[in-house]
Amino acid sequence: MPAIEVIGLRKTYRRAFRRQGHEALRGVDLSVPQGSAFGLIGPNGAGKTTFIKSILGIVQPSEGAVKVLGGSPEDPRIRARIGYLPERLHLPGSWSSPAFLATVARLKGLTPDKAANLRLLERVGLADALGRRIGGYSKGMRQRLGLAAALLGNPELLILDEPTDGIDPIGRVEVRRILQEEVQRGTTLFLNSHLLAETERVCDRIAILAEGKVLREGRLEELSRGGSRWVVRFAPGADAGALASAGFTAAGSEGVYHVEASDAAGLNAALDKARTAGALLVELKRDGQDLEAVLASAMGVAA
């Protein structure tokens, strides 16, 4: 059973007294398997936040079916098993973080457990700021507190809207670690991030959303794989003609060549040809697209 299943989701925001509404989602079909780390990427205004709000019941779809954890997001019991970190989380400035966590825990219907809250705060790296008011926290600290609140009660599904927004690189490493721990525990992760590098590192499945529709969706490796192309770099002084006859095409940068090889035997045969021609191999790697290239190509813009 997929954690999130969306069929034909449409959402049009209508303003009063205006005929034409803004179509945020134009028929989205998506399925997020349980236990996966799913990333939603896309340009601004693609409808990512609307999508997330739709699967949480914050926004009601104009059309389509939404199923979360096997039930409707309108059902409070389903929402009790979801942890959510909103994009612009507002935290009450005059409270302390343990107080905030305690209140959220209470609202989630959990039994009060101060010790567990403290452990959670430690986990997200806020152990030093327990006594301070939230109003004095930095952006990064607020994000971590929001994450802690989402993690309360060990939810089965974590929905995070820009989880590492504002956090410094070291902090991001920690957050990534926490998220990976959760995935290992079996929690389904659904996140929405502009930081493509982060998304690459955390998620194993990606969907690209643009202009209210899913353009591409699938496992990360499949999407970013360029096929059977390899990138090789030879030491300066290699014979270009000999390399060309061995099947290597120049890649543009000094000494960098591409070669097509469908399997290991073909690759090694080509490499042997190059080496007998006198070229010295310095670097070899598969030619994969990074996420930005995937996104750009999906959007139809030249990389």
Partner 1 sequence: MSGVLGIAGYVLREAAARKFILAFLLGVTGVLVTLSLSLRIEVVDGALAASRLFGEVMDTNILAVDVALRPIFMAAAAIVFYGGILFGIVSCSDFAPSLLSPGRIEHLLALPLRRWHILAGTFLGVMTLAVCAALYGSLGLVLIFGVKTGYWTVGPIISALLACVSFAAVYAVMLTTATVIRSAALCAALGGLTMVAGIIAGYRAKIAPFIEEGLSRELFKAVTLLLPRLSSLAQASMDLAASAPLGVQSLSMLLAGVLVFGLGMLAVGFWWFEGRDY
Segment lying near partner 1 (by CB under 8 A), choices 2-10, 98-106, 178-186, 201-209? 98-106
Decide: is 136 part of the binding site for partner 1 (CB under 8 A): no
**Of 22, 26, 31, 99, the one binding partner 1 by CB under 8 A:** 99
CA dihedral over 109, 114, 119, 124, signed as positive or negative: positive
- Residue-wise burial string across 36-74, b where 16 or more C-beta atoms lie within 10 A, e elsewhere: bbbbbbbeeebbbbbbbbbbbbebebbebebbbbeeebe
Decide: is 76 part of the binding site for partner 1 (CB under 8 A): yes
Decide: is 116 part of the binding site for partner 1 (CB under 8 A): no
Decide: is 80 part of the binding site for partner 1 (CB under 8 A): yes
Q: Smaller CB distance to partner 1: residue 161 or 200?
A: 161
Q: Smallest distance from the beta carbon of 207 to partner 1, in angstroms?
A: 21
Residue 33 has phi, psi (to 5 degrees) of -70, 155
Cα 300 to Cα 106, 126, 171, 291, distances in angstroms: 48, 43, 34, 14
Decide: is 259 part of the binding site for partner 1 (CB under 8 A): no
Decide: is 79 part of the binding site for partner 1 (CB under 8 A): yes
Segment lying near partner 1 (by CB under 8 A), choices 30-38, 75-83, 115-123, 199-207? 75-83
Q: Smallest distance from the beta carbon of 95 to partner 1, in angstroms?
A: 6
Q: Smaller CB distance to partner 1: residue 53 or 205?
A: 53
Decide: is 15 part of the binding site for partner 1 (CB under 8 A): no
Q: What angle do CA 230, 233, 239 make, to 5 degrees?
A: 110
77: DSSP letter = H
Q: Smaller CB distance to partner 1: residue 100 or 248?
A: 100
Please answer whether residues 251 and 257 qualify as being in contact, where contact means their C-beta atoms are separated by less than 8 angstroms.
yes
- Residue-wise burial string across 207-239, b where 16 or more C-beta atoms lie within 10 A, e elsewhere: bbbbebebbbbeebeebeeeeeebbbbbeeebe
Decide: is 137 part of the binding site for partner 1 (CB under 8 A): no
Q: In the complex, which residues of this chain contact partner 1 (CB under 8 A)?
A: 13, 53, 56-60, 76-77, 79-80, 82, 84, 86-90, 92, 94-95, 99, 103-104, 106-109, 149, 159
